[in-house]
Amino acid sequence: MNSSSNTSLYRFHSRLDRFFPRLRALVVLALIGASVSGCGYNTIPTLEEQAKAKWADVQNQYQRRADLIPNLVATVQGYAKQEKDVLTSVIEARAKATSVKIDASQLTDPEKVKQFQEAQAQLSGALGRLLAVSENYPDLKSNQNFLALQSQLEGTENRIAVARRDYIDAVRAYNLSLKTFPTLLWAATLFRGNQPMAEFTASESAQTPPQVKF
């Protein structure tokens, strides 16, 4: 074998020597990644993001309801101006409800979530009284704009109920991941800063949506 062949063979073996350590490193990294994934490392951040997304849905639906209220109040006022106290209570409750804001970083503060719930519950009560008053005005009950607003309000209340339920389920799953094995190991080490999120704690009666009748 000539010197040229020897040189080529040497280079080939040198490349193999450099290639296999890299291959072994990639295999080891892949195995570590699979192991970490399999033992729940990704579970906590995944469930956390899901809960935050569900909270965004809750806020969107409550905002949708708030957006319907000015037109509803204006329509009722056109037929029942004498119901000033009821109309004023709805306007004030809406203003308070829309002023209470909670971003995702505050979901671990039960007091903040409670304030949000109470403000929305007050608005639900005020809306219920407004709709009850409308029963006394046949012309209002048959008004097409009022009927359309009632229909939209009913659909929104249903969406609120679904969004709240989905948020509660997502929070429970996230909170459970912080307390159960094997994700408990990650919660006690790499995710020590993660705190349980607050669920809706108001009584069922306080969160009962206003009855929308046709």
User: For the segment 55-68, what is each residue's pLDDT rounded down to a tens digit?
Assistant: 999 999 999 999 99
What mean pLDDT comes out for the span 156-163?
A: 96
pLDDT at 85: 95
Q: Which residues contact 172 (CB under 8 A, 6 or more apart)?
A: 199
Residue 212 lies in a domain: no
Q: pLDDT band at residue 9, thresholds of 50, 70 and 90?
A: low
* Three-class SS state of 206: coil
Q: pLDDT band at residue 41, thresholds of 50, 70 and 90?
A: confident
Mean pLDDT (the chain, rounded): 83
* Rounded Cα–Cα distance for residues 188 and 62 (Å): 35
Residue 32 lies in a domain: yes
Task: Please provide the DSSP assignment of 85-131 as one string.
Answer: HHHHHHHHHHHHHHH----GGGTT-HHHHHHHHHHHHHHHHHHHHHH
What mean pLDDT comes out for the span 136-151?
A: 94
Residue 136 sits in the same domain as residue 57: yes
Residue 162 sits in the same domain as residue 180: yes
Structure tokens that stand for 56 in this block: 């965004």
Residue 3 has pLDDT above 80, yes or no: no
**Direct distance between the N- and C-terminal alpha carbons of the chain, in angstroms, rounded to an integer:** 99
CATH of the domain at 148: 1.20.1440.20
What is the per-residue pLDDT across 45-58, written as a single tens digit (0 to 9) for each? 999 999 999 999 99
Residue 128 sits in the same domain as residue 159: yes
Residue 211 lies in a domain: no
Residue 28 sits in the same domain as residue 61: no
Residue 145 lies in a domain: yes
Residue 141 sits in the same domain as residue 48: yes
What mean pLDDT comes out for the span 24-31?
A: 45
Residue 123 sits in the same domain as residue 172: yes
Residue 214 lies in a domain: no
Place of tokens 């009560």: 125
Considering its fold, how many domains does the chain have in total? 2
Residue 82 sits in the same domain as residue 21: no
pLDDT at 7: 55
Structure tokens that stand for 163 in this block: 């969004």
* Rounded Cα–Cα distance for residues 30 and 24 (Å): 10
Residue 30 sits in the same domain as residue 64: no
Residue 49 sits in the same domain as residue 115: yes
CB of 178 closer than 8 Å to CB of 44: yes
Residue 83 sits in the same domain as residue 167: yes
Residue 207 lies in a domain: no
pLDDT at 5: 53
* Rounded Cα–Cα distance for residues 130 and 117 (Å): 20
Neighbours of 11 (CB within 10 A): 10
* Rounded Cα–Cα distance for residues 200 and 202 (Å): 6
Residue 144 lies in a domain: yes
What is the per-residue pLDDT across 85-137, written as a single tens digit (0 to 9) for each? 999 999 999 999 999 999 999 999 999 999 999 999 999 999 999 999 999 99
pLDDT at 40: 74
Residue 24 sits in the same domain as residue 73: no
Range of the domain at 77: 42-187
What mean pLDDT comes out for the span 139-150?
A: 94
